[in-house]
Amino acid sequence: MKINSLLAGVALMATSFTGYAQDNTVTIQTKKIGADIQPTMYGVFFEDINFGADGGLYAELVKNRSFEFAPDHFMGWKMFGNVTLQNDGPFDKNPHYVRLGCAGHGDLWTGIQNEGFFGIGLKKNAEYRFSVWARVPDGNPVTLMVQFIDQNTMNDAQQFESRDLVIDSKEWKKYTMVMKSNRTIAKANLRIFLSNPQHRSGTGTVDLEHVSLFPTDTWMGHENGMRKDLAQALYDMRPGVFRFPGGCIVEGTNMETRYQWKHTVGPVENRPLNKNRWESTFIHRYYPDYFQSYGLGFYEYFLLSEELGAAPLPVLNVGMVCQYQNNNNEKAHAACNAEGLKPFIDDALDLIEFANGSTDTKWGKLRAEMGHPAPFNMKYLGIGNEQWDKFYFDRLKFFVEAIRKAHPEILIIGSSGPNSEGKMFDIGWEDMKKQKVDLVDEHFYRNIDWFKKSMNRYDDYDRTGPKVFAGEYACHDQGKKWNHAGASIYEAAFMTTLERNADVVHMATYAPLFAHVEGWQWRPDLIWFDNLNSVKTVSYYVQQMYAKNMGTNVVPATLATPTPQGEDGLFTSAVYDKNTNEYIVKVINTTDKAQTVNIVFDGLKKMQGSAATQTLDCSDYTLENTLENPNAIVPQDGWTTVEGNVIKTTVQGKNFTIFKVKK
């Protein structure tokens, strides 16, 4: 049944030429304050794809810091002289380390050199914290010479920073020192020589484990912290919800590579390595050195959520591996019975305790020991990612029953599968309703034509069933899978159906979030980066404009001439912000031509003399923000006059404009 304008409003106005004048009057029914807009309405979705964690958001600069990559434990390292791999180290989950010994000649050297993630990015005058777990097995002190080097320099010396570090304990011990770079360089290496005090070849023996290098200036100053510019970009979006850790990595290619949150908490030195599911997903974008160190783990995710002001939304494995990669192989998944699923259900219940439990519980105590005695106040929990049909439905039942019994306060999020419509999508929704989950996670990576046909997607949704979490979505054009302006304007237009239907849509997150320009597997993506810089895409600014102008309640906004489904035209939504006493109207023009628009605030006789505006100009269709030109398309602030209760304005072709006016 079509919902009334109080709940939905209408997106309208055809763009094809007709023989009569188009009426582009937008009527805002100011007296009909509608549905509450959830604080979680616009958020971010994080997955470790495109080197988004290690090599990205997680600020560690050393690759394979614990020598656990397999099958090559020296991946990311160059070894020279007398270096051997050992496997009886101090950390049971990361047992490997290297032993450096005398090279056997006074003019030969022993050492190791790390390449980082596509190089090590260093900034001039910035400080970096080098640390290593080390020991001298014979008890005789040795000196390490730790260097920042430019392997390919034409200067006389490769090293441009060098510090000595004395290792003097027979027992394993963490050694730390701060180094300062005297230059900005995107592709430095970290080199460690074994030396004596005279800087000649070393004569002693030293064991090294968990070799680490972090900028001291991380997000919020955390030692095991986030890269500051990337975390700041998330904060600047004003997200209401933060979903983690994925995505397909939750499932894994097989049970051994599924994401297990318990492996990601506790001392960072003893978090076991995991193969990243995206290492080998695409043979045309293959990265054999893509692993998860778990240095960015569930504690760090919860902490980041808190610092962003976003509700944490973890997603856990439902006892299934990736259905795409395993088809209908029942043996690939956990047995669909209470015994087979018990470890997975225990993980879910224990996670709730880790996030919310008191410090006298097992997992609440661990959270406190890690530095956060207060609970994280987790309210949402996703069970399963992008799974479908009876394989998923039958397993989910066990989780719903257990979580409802132990923690009825937790809101459960189920999946409608990988499709945005069709048979599997429909039966997914049917089952989610039967199981009475609280929200259903929908995914749609689609082209522009799909978005054009979906501008009223949520107008007809059942208002009595579970709410919608639009958990992964992005728009691209045929043959143009990158973040160009043309796709972003359709995302902006589509988001009017999210906002108009805020009574049923409670969350929405664009995906994927991050991508390294030298290490991506999937695009488009919201934020791109290299080792030194980052760039916010046009899609990022669309998301930010909605999130920062969310308001508190939907207000009906109707346009006089409808836009037929699948055509270009004007699209609109409006909200009221009771905290600022403002009406906020969003108008998107997807046509190529400027459109004269009259915005009438019905129910008010006179408003303030001007309205603040913010405009995103996407008229240069293929233009994108890049590292070289990060501000090619950014929102522009302005203002326009209000005549009584009417704003008379022009919205240019392929433009997204927000009008904000006091009551």
Rounded to whole angstroms, how far apart are CA atoms 160 and 337? 60
Is there a contact between 496 and 11 (Cβ–Cβ < 8 Å)? Answer: yes
10 Å Cβ neighbour count for 173? Answer: 13
Cα–Cα distances (Å) from 466 to 406, 471, 506, 534, in that order, read 21, 14, 10, 37
The verdict on whether 472 is a catalytic residue reads no
Average pLDDT over the chain reads 93
Catalytic residue among 47, 386, 499, 582: 386
Q: Which residue shows structure tokens 């159906």?
A: 497
Rg of the chain on CA atoms, in Å: 27
Give the amino acid at 135: R
pLDDT in tens, 232-288: 999 999 999 999 999 999 999 999 999 999 999 999 999 999 999 999 888 899 999
Work out the number of other CB atoms within 10 angstroms of the CB of residue 600: 19
Asked whether the predicted pLDDT for residue 162 surpasses 60, the reply is yes
CA proximity to 663, closest of 613, 615, 605 = 605
Which residues contact residue 462 at a Cβ distance below 8 angstroms, ignoring those fewer than 6 apart? 433, 504
Q: For residues 515 and 500, what is the distance between their CA atoms, to the nearest angstrom?
A: 31
Residue type, 96: H
Confidence band for 18, pLDDT divided at 50, 70 and 90: very low
288 Cβ contact partners less than 8 Å away, ≥ 6 residues apart: 75, 279, 280
At 412, is the secondary structure helix, strand, or coil?
strand
pLDDT tens digits, one per residue of 109-153: 999 999 999 999 999 999 999 999 999 999 999 999 999 999 998
Q: What is the arithmetic mean of pLDDT over 378-397?
A: 96
Pick the range with the lowest mean pLDDT from 392-396, 495-499, 532-536, 559-563: 559-563
Distance CA 549, CA 491 (A): 16
* Among 487, 493, 452, 653, CA closest to 586: 493
pLDDT in tens, 31-74: 999 999 999 999 999 999 999 999 999 999 999 999 999 999 99
Name the DSSP letter for residue 478.
T
What per-residue string of b and e applies to 309-323 under the rule 16 or more CB within 10 Å gives b? ebbbbbbbbbbbbbb
Tell me whether the omega of the peptide bond preceding residue 245 falls within 30 degrees of 0, making it cis. Answer: yes
Three-state SS across 611-630? EEEEEEECCCCCCCCCCCCC
Measured distance CA(161)–CA(149) in Å, rounded: 7
Strand segments (E) across 205-343 = 206-215, 241-244, 274-275, 291-292, 311-316
pTM (two decimals): 0.94
- pLDDT category at 327 given cuts 50, 70, 90 is confident
442-486, pLDDT tens digit by residue? 999 999 999 999 999 999 999 999 999 999 999 999 888 889 999
Q: Token match 């108009």: residue?
A: 500
DSSP state of 542: H
Strand duo 505-510 + 42-45: pairing: parallel
